[in-house]
Amino acid sequence: MLKLDLSYISVKTEITDGTGWRMDRLGGVAEKERHAAGPMRVLVLGGSGFIGRHASAALQAAGCDVVVGTRDPAKARRKLLSPSPQCAFRRVRLERHLDPRSWEAVLEGVDAVVNCVGILRQRGRETYDRVHHLAPAALAAACAEGGIRLVHVSALGLRAPVRSRFLHSKRDGEDAIRACGGDWCIVRPSLLDGRGGFGARWIRRVAGWPVHALPANATGRIAALDVCDLGEALARLVVGPRMDGPSREFELGGLQERSIGEQLRAMSPRTRPPLGVKVPVWLARLASHVCDLLHVTPYSFGHYELLRFDNCPRPNRLPEVLGRLPRPVPAAEGGIIRFTSSQSKEPACRLSRHCPPTMTPKSLSWRSSSTKRSASAPTAC
Ligand SMILES: NC(=O)c1ccc[n+]([C@@H]2O[C@H](COP(=O)([O-])OP(=O)(O)OC[C@H]3O[C@@H](n4cnc5c(N)ncnc54)[C@H](OP(=O)(O)O)[C@@H]3O)[C@@H](O)[C@H]2O)c1
C-alpha cells in the first residue's frame, strides 16, 4: 500500500496528513530538493473539464500551485470549481503538440503534469489519434526529458476486442507513455458520477426516466466511482512517491460492480422501479453511429462497445490510493438519492458527510514553512 511519510520531507516543506499516510517510498534527494524549493507547480491539462476541475481543486487543497491547460482560458476560468484559489492558465491545444520540443514552453517551470484531456468526438484537426495518442506520446517524452512527473488519465476496457477508433487511440496513447522511460503513472477510472460532467449528467437524467432502454448486449459490469474521489486520488499520485514497474498503473472504481442497467436502477429516484427495455443490438449500434454523426448525447460507438464488456478495475486500487473506502455511488442520503435541480450546474463538490474527518482537504495539505499556504480550499473533496 502507498504510504506518505511526513518525516521524510525536508525541513522547509512537509506534508501533513491526517489519514496517517507516510511518504516512506519518496524517491530521494531530487524530490526532497524539488519540494523544498516551494510549492509544487502542477499543470493540469484539461483542468477545466469534469475530472480536471476536481483534480485541480484537490491539488490546490494539497498546497500545490495549479496551472490549468486549456484551449480557452477565459471560458476555463468560469468553469472552475468555485470558490477556488487563484490558478494560472496556459493555452494548450493538444493537436498542435505532436513533437516533444513543442512542449518545452508549455512545461516551463512545471514540476508535474496531470493529463485529463479527452475528446468524445473528432472535430477538424482534433482527431482521436492526435489528442489521445500522438500528443500524449510527445508530452510523455518531454516530461521524461525534463524530469517531470506525468499522471495520465486513461480509461478501462482498452484491451477488449473492440473496433472503436476512440478506444484504440487511448490504448496507443497508453503504450507510448509506458515506453517513454520517465516518471509516469496511468490512471484508468471506471464510469464517473458527480455534478457537472457531461456523461454523468446524462446518466443521472436517464436514471430518472420511467423506462430504461438499453442495448440488449450491454451486459458488461462497471464499478462507478465519485469524481471527487478521483480528483483526490490524482492529487495523491502527483504528490506521492515515485513508483516504477507495473505498480504505476492504477485501475480505480467504486465498491459495487453492476451492469449499466443495474446502475441506472440503483440511481433511480423513483419509488416504482423503472421498466427495463432491451433495444435490439443492430438498432443500438445504429443509434450510436447516428449520435456520433450528429454530435449529440454522450452515447457513442465507443460507449456501445464498452458496455458489452466488463469495465471493472482489476484490482481496484482506489482504497489503496485514498487510504479509505471510496464514496458510495449513488450517494444515498437516508436511503433516498437526492439529485437537486441544480445538478446540471457547476459542481458543488463539498466534503461529503460520508467522509470521516480524515478525508478533509487538510488531510492532503502541503505546507512550506517559508510560504505557508492555505490548505483550506473549500471545494475539494
Ligand atoms: N467522465 C467519465 O466517466 C470518464 C471515465 C473514465 C475515463 N474518462 C476519461 O477521462 C478524460 C477526461 O474526461 P472528462 O469527463 O473530464 O472530460 P471533459 O469534461 O470533456 O474534459 C475534457 C477536457 O479536455 C480538454 N480538451 C479537449 N480537447 C482538447 C484539445 N484539443 N486540446 C487541449 N485540451 C482539450 C477540454 O478543456 P478546454 O475545453 O478547457 O480546452 C476539456 O475540459 C477523457 O479522456 C475520458 O475518456 C472519463
Summarize pLDDT for 235-289 with one digit per residue, the tens.
Answer: 999 999 998 888 999 999 999 999 999 999 999 999 999 999 999 999 999 999 9
Split at pLDDT 50, 70, 90, the class of 331 is: confident
Q: Where are the domains of the chain?
A: 6-192+224-257+311-340+363-368
Task: Note the Cα 13 to chain centre separation in Å.
Answer: 27
Please report the pLDDT score of residue 356 as a whole number.
Answer: 31
Mean pLDDT of the chain: 82
Q: Check pocket membership of 71 for ligand 1, CB cut-off 6 A.
A: yes
> Quick one: how many helices (H) and strands (E) in the chain?
12, 17
What's the rounded mean pLDDT across residues 306-333? 92
Whether the CA torsion 204, 205, 206, 210 is positive or negative: it is positive
Q: Check pocket membership of 126 for ligand 1, CB cut-off 6 A.
A: yes
Q: Which helix (H) or strand (E) holds 165?
A: helix 165-178
User: How many angstroms does the Cα of residue 197 sit away from the middle of ligand 1?
Assistant: 10
Q: Which three cell numbers stand for residue 150?
A: 506525468
User: How many angstroms does the Cα of residue 115 sit away from the middle of ligand 1?
Assistant: 9
List residues bridging with 65 in a β-sheet. Answer: 41
Task: Note the Cα 41 to chain centre separation in Å.
Answer: 18
What's the rounded mean pLDDT across residues 8-19? 31
CA atoms within 13 A on the CB side of 308: 15
Smallest CA separation from ligand 1 atom 20, residue:
49
Q: Which three cell numbers stand for residue 131?
A: 489528442
Q: Check pocket membership of 76 for ligand 1, CB cut-off 6 A.
A: yes
If you ran DSSP here, which 8-state letter would residue 211 be given?
E
Q: Check pocket membership of 173 for ligand 1, CB cut-off 6 A.
A: no
pTM: 0.84
Q: Check pocket membership of 117 for ligand 1, CB cut-off 6 A.
A: yes
User: Which range has the worst mean pLDDT, 154-163, 251-260, 351-360?
Assistant: 351-360
- Of residues 3 and 34, more confidence is placed in 34
Closest listed residue to residue 61, CA positions, set 327, 353, 350, 254: 350
| CB proximity list for 71: less than 8 A, separation 6 or greater | 91, 92, 93
Smallest CA separation from ligand 1 atom 38, residue:
70
Q: Which fold has domain 6-192+224-257+311-340+363-368?
A: Rossmann fold (3.40.50)
Assess contact for 249 and 237: CB atoms under 8 A.
no
